[in-house]
Structures are given as structure tokens and as C-alpha cells.
Amino acid sequence: MASTKPLAEIGKKKKKKKPQKKTKNPGKAKKKNQSEPQVKKSGSDKIKELEEELKKTPYNKRTQHHIGLIKAKLAMLKEKELQRGKGGGKTEGYAVRRSGDATVIMVGFPSAGKSSLLNQLTNANSPVGDYEFTTLSVVPGLLHYKQAKIQILDVPGIVRGAASGRGRGKEVLSVMQNADLAMIVVDTLRPNAYPVILKEIREANLRLNKEKPDVKIKKTVKDGIRIGKTVHLPELKDETIKAICKEMGISNAEILIRSQINADDFIDVLEGNKKYIPAITILNKIDLVSPERLEEIKKEIRPDIMISAKNGTGTEELKELIFQRLGFIRIWCKEVGKPADMTEPLILREKDTIEIMCRKLHKDFVTKFRFARVWGPSAKFDGQVLMLKHKLKDNDTVELHIR
């Protein structure tokens, strides 16, 4: 439904109508009330209205501020709706035990070929069917690649409305919250599924292929909203930041922004419940379409890789891509007075520290840590003495000195 209201008015809380005063003819008044349209719009009506408004409003310098505000209102309304929904039937989550060096989840429409792909990549044997919803729970498999062990989770297909609870959508998307990487599997015969999947993922509070914005917010008791920036923000004026804060119930705060963000990113930070994970978009079933059609689909969805899970085309390249995107680094462990063990590295992730290495090896190593000697790319010189906060790099050799 199109609205004629000015943007700033939409979604604003309506003042509660005072109860009608008793009139001389209460019966009549009652009748009149019944035939009037409902004054109070439901949350979902307001959401629809705002979404329509967003679609209609072109993004430019002049509308930036309004769009930011609508988005903040939408975020608040959606959160409220979600909270309301939570009261109802409990959804049972999937219990998945993490194993290996990282966990990767596959998401896609039913029949996109997720189970076929799991069986190609791992030792698992997940049933494959030419009907939808073959997979009904989580099936894990383990991929061994370059000395890393990567857990891959096959889950039921998700459809439009998954984030708000259709099918097993909610459970699938919640498993995704704890994954290190997402693989989005798209079928060449149904490329239109891609934007739908992306939308559902977004609604489930996940952000793909995005660094967490570097924004610090310290709530204060007075002085309004004070903004500090180390970057120029062409897409987000101070005025909009303040209006968004107000809309989201923050009147006093110190805000320090150190990365390039827009209104969406800022709202995400304020909501504070977003998960940022890398993703790979996979176009599957390339054996089923002509080269011309494949070109068309490629332009449309711009996949990171194209494969055929059925006959194995592209799956070796996919393994390498998974390894890369997970940002794995190999660390060679060395005992004092002995040469390093160059047969089996410890697998860590980029930016991992000596502290994380210690944790991975033994629960007491952090408390009993004295120092580490490091050889290789992250050390300034051979055998440099380094402490827990030091970030390691691929191919480092590390000798831990423990009490």
C-alpha cells in the first residue's frame, strides 16, 4: 500500500488514543467505532509501509538522511516483531558438535545440490534425492585438505520466509551463526533463488563478506551525541548519526568511528547482534545448461566458483577456495632443544595470536606461559622472544616456554 505521508512521519509511534468519552447515546457511538478502520496499525503493516517507502525513494545526497531514518525505524520495528514472535512456540535448535579446524555451512534452496556436494568434498554419505527437502537435519562431513580438517555441514534447504520461521529456516540460519564460513549453493536452473537466500541471511542478522565496522559507542549520562571520526564518511552525515541514535533510543553517547560505514552499518552496530562471516557463492549444476545460458547466469549472480557436484567439475578448486577464505595459517611447533616437527602443522587462522595457539594445545598453557621463541615470517629475527598477544603468520615456527 502506497503511503502519502511525509517520510519522517512514517513509523512514528502513534499517541495512544484516549478512550472515547461516554456519549448520551453509547450504542450509536459503539456502532460508529466498529465501522471505522482500525486506528492502530500492526507492526507488520508498518514494516510493509516503510519497506515500500524505501523502495520508492531513490538514494542520493538529499535523501540519504531520510533513508537512514527509515532504516533505523525498520530495524526497531523488526526487532520488536521478532521479540513478539519469540514468545510463541519454541523452536528446537540443531545440536551440532564442532570438530576440525573450522566449520563451514552450506545453504541454498531445496534440491540445489548441497548433499551431493557434501558427498563430493568429504567422506560423508548424505542422502541425495531428486525431490525437495531430502535432508531434514544436519549432516556433518569432514574435509581433509592441506593438513587442515574442515567440518562441512549439510542442512535442509531454506526458502523465502526462512528467517521468520518457515520450514526449518530458523534452525538452519542459527547454525550459520556459529559457522566460520558459509557456502551458498545456487542451482543453474533456479538462479532467482540467490537474492532470496541473501535476503533471508540478512534478516537472520548475518553479514557476509564484511568486516565488523570499527565503531565504539560509549553511552554517557549527558552532553548528547558526540561524534569522533578518523575517516571521512560521505554516506553518513553527523546529523543522520544523531537522528538514528535518537530513533533507536540513545540520547547521550560518545561515538568513535574508525571505518568507512553507511547508515546500514551504523544501525547494525547499534543493534549489536550481527555476526560477520565470509562466504563463497557456488553455482552448481553447470552441466545442465548451455554455455550461453551459463554466461547469462554468471553475469547475474557473479559466483565465486562454478561446479557440478554430480560429476565433480570444479570441486578440487573449491577445496582450495575454502582453505583460502578460511584464512588458514600453518604453524610448525618446536620443542626446546629439538628440531621443529615439519610433518604436521598446527592449523590456525589469520590474525590468531600466540595466546590462541596456546589455548588450542592445552587448557593450562595460557596461565603457565612464560614466553615463546618464533622463527619465520612474523618474527623480526630468528628465535625472537615474543609474548601472548603477538600475531602469528603462515609458516611460522614456534617454541613455547611453559612453566
Q: Which does 129 bind (CB under 5 to 8 A by kind): Mg ion, ligand GTP, none?
A: ligand GTP
Q: Which is nearer to ligand GTP, 206 or 307 (CB)?
A: 307
Q: Which does 310 bind (CB under 5 to 8 A by kind): ligand GTP, Mg ion, none?
A: ligand GTP
Among positions 135, 205, 262, 308, the unique one binding Mg ion when judged by CB under 5 A? 135
Shortest approach of Mg ion to residue 223 CB, angstroms? 55
Q: Is 119 in the site for Mg ion (CB under 5 A)?
A: no
Nearest CA to 273 out of 174, 168, 153 is that of 174
SS3 245: helix
Q: Which is nearer to ligand GTP, 209 or 311 (CB)?
A: 311
For residue 380, report the phi and psi dihedrals to the nearest 5 degrees: -75, -30
Judged by CB under 5 A, the number of residues near Mg ion is 4
Shortest approach of ligand GTP to residue 35 CB, angstroms? 48
Q: Which does 242 bind (CB under 5 to 8 A by kind): Mg ion, ligand GTP, none?
A: none
C-alpha–C-alpha distance, residues 332 and 143, integer Å: 21
Q: Which is nearer to ligand GTP, 77 or 159 (CB)?
A: 159
Q: Which is nearer to Mg ion, 153 or 233 (CB)?
A: 153
Q: Which is nearer to ligand GTP, 54 or 124 (CB)?
A: 124
Q: Which does 112 bind (CB under 5 to 8 A by kind): Mg ion, ligand GTP, none?
A: ligand GTP
Grid cell for residue 350: 589469520
DSSP H or E segment with residue 253: strand 253-257
Q: Is 111 in the site for Mg ion (CB under 5 A)?
A: no
Q: Is 115 in the site for Mg ion (CB under 5 A)?
A: yes
Strand ranges across the sheet with 279-284: 139-145, 148-154, 102-108, 181-187, 279-284, 305-306
- The H-assigned helical ranges of 302-350 are 315-325
Please list the helix, strand and coil fractions of the chain in percent, rounded to the nearest 5, in that order. Answer: 30, 20, 45
Q: Which does 113 bind (CB under 5 to 8 A by kind): ligand GTP, Mg ion, none?
A: ligand GTP
Q: Which does 233 bind (CB under 5 to 8 A by kind): Mg ion, ligand GTP, none?
A: none
Shortest approach of ligand GTP to residue 314 CB, angstroms? 9
Conformation bin of residue 113: beta by default, left when phi > 0, alpha when psi is -120 to 50:
left
DSSP H or E segment with residue 215: strand 215-219
| DSSP code string of 179-200 | -SEEEEEEETT-TTHHHHHHHH
Q: In this chain, which stretch among 130-138, 348-356, 364-372, 382-390 interacts with Mg ion, using CB under 5 A? A: 130-138
| Cβ 154 vs Cβ 139: under 8 Å | yes
- Where along the sequence are the contacts to ligand GTP (CB under 6 A)? 108, 110-116, 128-130, 132-135, 156-157, 284-285, 287-288, 308-310
Grid cell for residue 170: 530458523
Nearest CA to 276 out of 179, 208, 327 is that of 208
Q: In this chain, which stretch among 28-36, 133-141, 247-255, 316-324 interacts with Mg ion, using CB under 5 A? A: 133-141
Among positions 120, 122, 134, 240, the unique one binding Mg ion when judged by CB under 5 A? 134
Shortest approach of ligand GTP to residue 107 CB, angstroms? 10
Shortest approach of ligand GTP to residue 59 CB, angstroms? 35
Q: Which residue has the cell 596456546?
A: 358
Give the type of residue at 396: D
Shortest approach of ligand GTP to residue 114 CB, angstroms? 4
Shortest approach of ligand GTP to residue 185 CB, angstroms? 6
Q: Which is nearer to ligand GTP, 114 or 207 (CB)?
A: 114
| DSSP code string of 363-389 | TTTTTTEEEEEEESTT-SSTTEEE-TT
| Binding residues for Mg ion (CB under 5 A) | 114-115, 134-135
